[in-house]
Amino acid sequence: MQVTILYFAGLREALQTSGETLQLPGSVATAGALRDWLVARGAPYADALAPGKAVRMSVDQAMADAGTPLSEGAEVAFFPPVTGG
Amino acid sequence: MPVRVQREDFEVGAEIAALRQGDGAVGAVASFIGTVRDVNDGSGVAAMTLEHYPGMTEKALESICGKAKSRFDIRDTLIIHRVGELRPTDQIVLVAVTSAHRGEAFAACEFIMDYLKTEAPFWKKEATPQGQRWVEARQIDDEAAARWRDPQAGH
């Protein structure tokens, strides 16, 4: 399936892009699986999204966790813990 | 239940007047204003840039106000949050809540701020003498939001 991925704040800087549209293999069906798949692509994802790094995810503009399912055309975002207010 | 994300400054008196205008059931207004400090984590801060996730930020703030409204006996809520470049002493955020009596307004205002701090997608970057740095999320903010998990908290 195809998804749009957005990156914010420090992650946007580390990846040097604010987003991309990617075609995912059928095995990538959740937000957590997408993160793992990106990490497996190597630099710069491997470091920026490494397991253990504090990374938050959203799917279709709602906070998500590793098990949140993805659907065709989903808007997924990766970002650091929020610091507004 | 207005929610606004904007670059421009806001005038607290006018915003609160608009929030409670014509509502004779309001007997209390509680508000919180967050401002930019000139020092953080031991470094001087000359400027701050606030980034957000357009679309999701507004949804998150509306969802937080909705939770506050179903949990507390309040009349209305207002959130204004600025983005872009800010300077020390500038206003960052305004949360205001109207209710019949003060207790619910105080509690709902704190509830909204605690959730905003942990759930609304904003990120702060500071300009310090050592260079630019992203502000790190604080454990104490997670703890402040977590204490509302008890449905009776604040009542």
Q: Annotate B48-60 with b (16+ C-beta within 10 A) or e (fewer).
A: bebbbbeebbbbb
Is the model's pLDDT at B153 over the cut of 90?
A: no
**Across the interface, which of A10, A54, A82 has its CB nearest the CB of B121?**
A82
Q: How far is CA A59 from the centre of its chain?
A: 9
B154 band by pLDDT with thresholds 50, 70 and 90: confident
- Phi (first) and psi of residue B104, to 5 degrees: -70, -35
Among residues A72, A19, A83, A77, the alpha carbon closest in space to that of B40 is found at A83
The proportion of chain B whose per-residue pLDDT surpasses 70, expressed as a percent, equals 100
Query: What is the Cα–Cα distance from A52 to A65, expressed in whole angstroms?
Result: 14
Q: How far is CA B144 from the centre of its chain?
A: 14
- B136 to chain A, any CB pair closer than 8 A? The answer is yes
- A80 to chain B, any CB pair closer than 8 A? The answer is yes
Query: What is the Cα–Cα distance from B135 to B141, expressed in whole angstroms?
Result: 13
Q: How far is B21 from chain A (nearest CA, A)?
A: 26
Q: What is the pLDDT of residues B55-109, one digit of tens each?
A: 999 999 999 999 999 999 999 999 999 999 999 999 999 999 999 999 999 999 9
Domains of chain A: 2-79 (3.10.20.30)
**Residue written as token pair 């500071």:** B126
What ipTM, to 2 d.p.? 0.95
* Ranges of residues in chain A whose predicted pLDDT is under 70: none
pLDDT of residue B38: 96
Domains of chain B: 3-149 (3.90.1170.40)
B152 band by pLDDT with thresholds 50, 70 and 90: confident
Q: What is the pLDDT of residues A21-40, one digit of tens each?
A: 999 999 999 999 999 999 99
